[in-house]
Amino acid sequence: MKILSSLHSYNITGVLKQNISLLKYLRTSAGIDALVIGPNKNLGMEILEEEGFIAETTFGRSINDILHRHNFHPDLILSESLFSSDVSDLSKEIGAKHIIRIHEEIPFQSGKGLWLLPYRPINEYFQKFRNSKVIFPSSHTANHYRMPLQEFDIDFSVIHGSIDEERLKEQKEVLNFSDFQILQLGTLYERKGGINTLESFFNFLNKEGVENANLIFAGVRNANEKEIQYKERLERRAKELGIEEKVRFYDSMKNPYALMKGSSIVTLHSYSECFPTVFLEAMYFGKMIVSSNVGGVGEQVYEGVTGYLFNSGDINEQSNAFSKLYDERHLLESKSKIIKDRYIDYFSQESSGDKFLNFLEK
């Protein structure tokens, strides 16, 4: 079998990481070959090529031209995200199956919301999926789209995302700058709630007994004016609060795992999520999670065991979770194995890949 995998971006995102993880597992376990397409060249394209996949950009070229150039005849087209789902028309043209993995929960209207890309009304997407199969990373996300799923009688399954365990396993380097390092890893823009995390960190620092702690934002892309302005806003606020020396920013990178290994906890204060890849990575490394309870995050975090959830927008709850884990920081190492074991039991790359293969064979 051959797969044409369609990405909406080669930027390093959770969607891209989950795509690489799945394609590597399918190649290793089932001998399935893949060709990947996306609209722009970026670091994600380099990672795919390093892993031995053909990765092409559709900028200025048709998909048919790319397939012809590589003499590649796909049996399956895999769309990663609603924003790459237009290839469903191509699947009908060439007689290939079509599966779309939906990684976003977007509002049921057009042109509004927190997503940076424009989109059409949801029903216009799902009308095209009548002959396709749909995969959601969480039950919450599937429930979010229950109305169009029912209206168009679409075959779907809930299969959690996965991470490239081989790449994480090889990580040796550790980057650590304090006794209690907090990491927020992900694209630095409004939806991820970085400003709230910064305010929570400030409140946490002002509590009695807190010493030698720092906050890291990793995932700065400067991909557009909004992202540039958002980073500048964070830098200004950190300076206003007098904590700029305790806050570090890192660009989006192919390997952020030295930072994760060196961190005490991993956090997000997102307004919306489906099934954040960063929390799969955090669990793999045995790190406690502090997150807003949005989307499928509640299906990842076992409250009080692998992390703590708080209501999105509540800075005090996030700050209190930081404080609780700081007070228990001497226990974090002993909790690490419990967290890693839970990852293996529920979220492993093998588990996700096998479920995908079973769904494909239905």
CATH number, residue 53: 3.40.50.2000
Q: Which residue has the tokens 């390997």?
A: 255
| 212 class by beta-carbon count within 10 Å (0-12 exposed, 13-18 middle, 19+ buried) | exposed
Same-domain pairing of 135 and 177: no
Does residue 230 lie in a domain region?
yes
Does residue 359 lie in a domain region?
no
Are 185 and 260 contacting, i.e. CB atoms less than 8 angstroms apart? yes
Please identify, among 158, 177, 204, the residue that sits at the C-terminal boundary of a domain: 158
What is the pLDDT confidence band of residue 120, given thresholds at 50, 70 and 90?
low
Same-domain pairing of 142 and 173: no
Average pLDDT in the 159-184 region?
A: 96
Same-domain pairing of 154 and 268: no
Is the pLDDT at 83 greater than 70? The verdict is yes
Same-domain pairing of 308 and 191: yes
Does residue 142 lie in a domain region?
yes
Please identify, among 115, 137, 158, the residue that sits at the C-terminal boundary of a domain: 158
Grouping H, G, I as helix, E, B as strand and the rest as coil, residue 31 is: coil
Mean pLDDT score across all residues of the chain:
93
Is the pLDDT at 185 greater than 50? The verdict is yes
Are 288 and 325 contacting, i.e. CB atoms less than 8 angstroms apart? yes
Domain range for 22 is 2-158
pLDDT of residue 86: 76
- Closest of 25, 31, 32, 42 to residue 3, by C-alpha: 32
Same-domain pairing of 239 and 95: no
pLDDT of residue 112: 44
pLDDT of residue 106: 81
Integer CA distances (angstroms), 200 to 90, 143, 276, in order: 47, 31, 20
Average pLDDT in the 353-360 region?
A: 97
- Residue range 54-69, pLDDT digits in tens: 999 999 899 999 999 9
pTM of the model: 0.94
pLDDT over 70 percentage in the chain = 96
pLDDT of residue 48: 98
Same-domain pairing of 311 and 282: yes
Grouping H, G, I as helix, E, B as strand and the rest as coil, residue 158 is: strand
Sort strands 97-101 and 76-80 into parallel, antiparallel or unpaired. Answer: parallel
Are 181 and 162 contacting, i.e. CB atoms less than 8 angstroms apart? no
Integer CA distances (angstroms), 155 to 77, 98, 101, 136, 149, in order: 16, 11, 12, 11, 8
Count: domains in the chain: 2
Does residue 290 lie in a domain region?
yes
Same-domain pairing of 320 and 269: yes
Same-domain pairing of 133 and 229: no
